[in-house]
A and B are shown apart, each in its own frame.
Chain A
């Protein structure tokens, strides 16, 4: 069977609601205007259909997935399908009892984000008091022996804390530490001037992370994701459009990535209206940027196209106005000057705090 377009991971965005207000949130800017959340029965059917398509990993995310009080049902259902289930959470609101219950029902691992190692900074970035509760959640995970990933979204306000962030992850006995530089889309693009670090800051952080990675090999995995604004080559966004990942958003829209529905003119479909395998194989939106035929110049003849597939379609659209262009993060792309000027601005404003525009709006629930 052809594995070229086989999804391995389902990203289930259970809700856009969240008690925090991170200025780099990957939810769409208009998340509050989206329709009602799909119910647990629909999710369980989606898990089943995803597993039939080849999915083996399930990421339960949001918004804040803990706000769904049927999360237990979903974890239990996922385990019956033998999916490897990761809960991706801010850690709020959580109790050790609930975490223990989720574990007993089959939760395989938990990823908890933290904004900074300093309480005041962390709470300011999250836009709500949350630091202490996050640390509690991390400790509960460790004491319940649930594999823990600590996730930090890096930007200019916390990137200088890299040593402390590594120490914090070691201190809570994390199994993995994800030092992921902000992806400048959605809320993060709106806040880019306040978030984008300088090249110097990135280089320093990368060196420290590489040392930690070598030192901790075998006990804690350290992952450092360089921002594509400084790599000169784009990321292989989602490992290729409609190739390895399916995102299903809170209202049941099936997507190749978190923000694909922000690209105008693409048609995506709801899991309530069509089987997931039909959507995956046949929907216009999923097929739009698959394979090589759609590739623009200079990607068409570039050797790197098998590695990055021309980069991120959402970034191409949001920075150049055309989702069919090469990702401007590429130094060969016609629109690359926008990346260069963002870098220049980061240098010019180094050390000067810029105000965040916090993620706001409520997000709708099904109840």
Chain B
């Protein structure tokens, strides 16, 4: 299985929720949660099990015109790493 073929999907235990108090999104799971910035929220939303990492980068490059594809790719890898480390991802191929 190569990384290019992985289609990340959020673990079903995770819930994304808007936080009125901070105007940011929270990724909630048992006992705790992560506060996401806008980029992380956008990436989390793309973790539906349908898109490959390349698809995600393409999609975000369209949305965030001021960031280069290289920067976006790095951000995606980094955030997916954070999620995977915490067991918050399921990789469908």
By a beta-carbon cutoff of 8 Å, the part of chain A in contact with chain B is 1, 3, 6, 8, 54, 56-57, 82, 84, 86, 108-109, 111, 145, 147, 149, 175-176, 217-221
Once the chains bind, are A145 and B12 in contact (CB under 8 Å)? yes
Once the chains bind, are A54 and B21 in contact (CB under 8 Å)? yes
Once the chains bind, are A86 and B22 in contact (CB under 8 Å)? no
Once the chains bind, are A175 and B30 in contact (CB under 8 Å)? yes
How would residues 50 to 78 of chain B score, 1 for a CB under 8 Å from any chain A CB and 0 otherwise?
A: 00000000000000000000000000000
Q: Which one of B2-10, B41-49, B81-89 is at the interface?
A: B81-89
**Which residues in A have their C-beta under 8 angstroms from that of B12?**
145, 147
Q: How far is the CB of A147 from chain B (nearest CB, A)?
A: 4
With A111-B30, A175-B30 already in contact, the answer to whether A219 and B87 are too (CB < 8 A) is yes
**Which residues in A have their C-beta under 8 angstroms from that of B28?**
56-57, 84, 108
Distance of A145 Cα from B13 Cα, bound (Å): 9
**Which residues in A have their C-beta under 8 angstroms from that of B29?**
84, 109, 147
**Which residues in A have their C-beta under 8 angstroms from that of B21?**
1, 3, 6, 54
**Which residues in A have their C-beta under 8 angstroms from that of B32?**
57
Q: How far is the CB of B36 from chain A (nearest CB, A)?
A: 13
A-B contact list, 20 entries, CB within 8 Å: A1-B21, A57-B32, A57-B33, A82-B17, A84-B17, A84-B28, A84-B29, A84-B30, A86-B30, A86-B31, A108-B15, A108-B28, A109-B13, A147-B13, A175-B13, A175-B30, A218-B84, A218-B89, A220-B87, A221-B86
Distance of A218 Cα from B85 Cα, bound (Å): 6
Distance of A218 Cα from B22 Cα, bound (Å): 29
Closest B residue to A220 by CB, please name it: B87
Most interface-central of A6, A84, A147, A175 (chain B CB within 10 A): A84
Distance of A55 Cα from B30 Cα, bound (Å): 14
Once the chains bind, are A3 and B30 in contact (CB under 8 Å)? no
Once the chains bind, are B30 and A56 in contact (CB under 8 Å)? no
Judge whether B19 is part of the interface by a CB distance below 8 angstroms.
yes
Once the chains bind, are A56 and B33 in contact (CB under 8 Å)? yes
Chain B count of residues within 8 A CB distance of the other chain = 19
Distance of A252 Cα from B18 Cα, bound (Å): 29
**Which residues in A have their C-beta under 8 angstroms from that of B17?**
56, 82, 84
**Which residues in A have their C-beta under 8 angstroms from that of B22?**
1, 3
**Which residues in A have their C-beta under 8 angstroms from that of B13?**
108-109, 147, 175
Q: How far is the CB of A142 from chain B (nearest CB, A)?
A: 12
With A108-B15, A109-B13 already in contact, the answer to whether A147 and B33 are too (CB < 8 A) is no
**Which residues in B have their C-beta under 8 angstroms from that of A56?**
17, 19, 26, 28, 33
Closest B residue to A1 by CB, please name it: B21
With A56-B17, A175-B87 already in contact, the answer to whether A147 and B26 are too (CB < 8 A) is no
Q: How far is the CB of A325 from chain B (nearest CB, A)?
A: 30
Distance of A6 Cα from B33 Cα, bound (Å): 14
Q: How far is the CB of A308 from chain B (nearest CB, A)?
A: 19
**Which residues in B have their C-beta under 8 angstroms from that of A1?**
21-22
Closest B residue to A176 by CB, please name it: B30
**Which residues in B have their C-beta under 8 angstroms from that of A149?**
30-31
Closest A residue to B91 by CB, please name it: A218
Once the chains bind, are A147 and B30 in contact (CB under 8 Å)? yes
Distance of A217 Cα from B85 Cα, bound (Å): 6
Q: How far is the CB of A151 from chain B (nearest CB, A)?
A: 11
Q: How far is the CB of A204 from chain B (nearest CB, A)?
A: 26
Q: How far is the CB of A339 from chain B (nearest CB, A)?
A: 27
Distance of A3 Cα from B24 Cα, bound (Å): 13
Apart from A3-B21, A6-B21, A108-B28: 9 A-B pairs, beta carbons within 8 A: A1-B21, A54-B19, A54-B21, A84-B33, A147-B12, A175-B87, A217-B85, A217-B87, A220-B87
Distance of A56 Cα from B17 Cα, bound (Å): 9
Distance of A84 Cα from B32 Cα, bound (Å): 9
Closest A residue to B32 by CB, please name it: A57
**Which residues in B have their C-beta under 8 angstroms from that of A86?**
30-31
Q: How far is the CB of A60 from chain B (nearest CB, A)?
A: 13
Most interface-central of B13, B32, B84 (chain A CB within 10 A): B13
